Amino acid sequence: MTDLSNGAAWMEGKIIPISEAKIGVTDWGLTRSDITYDVVHVWEGSFFRLPDYLDRFESSITKLRLDIPQSRQEITDILHDMVATSGLRSAYVSMVASRGTPIVPGTRDPRACKNHFFAWVVPFVRVIPQDVAERGAHIQLATASRRISPSSVDPTVKNYHWGDMTRALFDALDSGFDSTALLDENGHITEGPGFNIFAVIDGVVVTPKSGVLEGITRKTVLEISAELGLPCATRGISAQEFLNAEEVFTATTAGGPVAVTRVNNRILGNDAPGNTTHQVIEAYWDWHKRPELTQPINYRSFV
């Protein structure tokens, strides 16, 4: 039996080692980043909030006017089968819809492409490494790069347009930071490379309202805050407000909520995760035990 412990992919009806997964060099998903995707994680043998991720994936497909042949149920079955076949118990799972290869070579008509779907899974990914998360991430507010305007690229459609983020990430890493957060054209906080951002301001858990991906982990954090009785809000956050926040943390499918203990040269709290952040992180992983939010994977069928 093929060892898929390093990852697997579903392409054209087959589950293969991820190292063998490929798309054509003329696929517009590659040449024009005309593609959307979504990622959901598997934790201890179960998908977490898979229907929510599928909702967002379907919304992105509609907004980009993509048309893939797989139904929602077929995508669900593909993801379950792929993960079960891989044997991975904690994993990072991606579903992708690409514009595809032009049926008429050289055309500039996006309607003349054969759209297609594929998926892949690898061992669980953390955007911010575990050792960094434990001490608290250090992030830099980007100055040389602003977030792409929503009027150009819709941030609610999960996409690969990372030119702005990659530039800001290089600057942050070169300066000794762990990651970065980008501002919009009006100087308000948006998001970072692969994560939403939260700040505790005057005791309120606040996250940016616009210019960001509507993250499922972001949604979960807002729901957790409400359940814990923590005041929360979605609104614009100025750079100065952010720098003066009592606490800051990130939120992502790839690792969950993570404390931020330094922003630029400012140390938050005592250079350790704050109490609100700790409550949210603890509750987030506890929620993974809730049957209504999880879908167990049937590995036995693929042993």
pTM over 0.85: yes
pLDDT, residue 117, reads: 98
For residues 197 and 69, give the distance between their C-alpha atoms in angstroms, rounded to a whole number. 35
Position 303 scores a pLDDT of 53
> What digits encode the pLDDT tens for the residues 80-94?
999 999 999 999 999
Tokens of 72: 């929602």
Bridge-based pairing state of the strands 14-17 and 247-251: unpaired
Mean pLDDT value of segment 77-82: 98
Concatenated DSSP letters of 10-27 = EETTEEEEGGG----TT-
The CATH number given to 8-123 is 3.30.470.10
Domain borders along the chain are 8-123, 130-288
- Starting at the edge strand that comes first in sequence, how are the strands of the sheet with 46-48 ordered? 14-17, 8-11, 113-123, 91-102, 35-43, 46-48, 294-296
> What distance in Å separates the CA atoms of residue 30 and residue 10, rounded to the nearest whole number?
18
Helix (H) or strand (E) holding 101: strand 91-102
CATH class of 130-288: alpha beta
pLDDT per residue over 192-201, tens digit each?
999 999 999 9
The overall average pLDDT reported for the chain is: 96
Tell me the two tokens of residue 171: 């600057």
Mean per-residue pLDDT, 59-87: 98
Can you give the pLDDT at residue 102? Answer: 95
Which of 8, 24, 30, 16 minimizes the C-alpha distance to 94? 8
Which residue in this structure is represented by tokens 């998001």? 191
pLDDT higher than 70, residue 52: yes
* CB-CB neighbours of 106 under 10 Å: 7
- Distance (Å, rounded) from C-alpha 188 to C-alpha 190? 6
127-148 confidence digits (pLDDT tens): 999 999 999 999 999 999 999 9
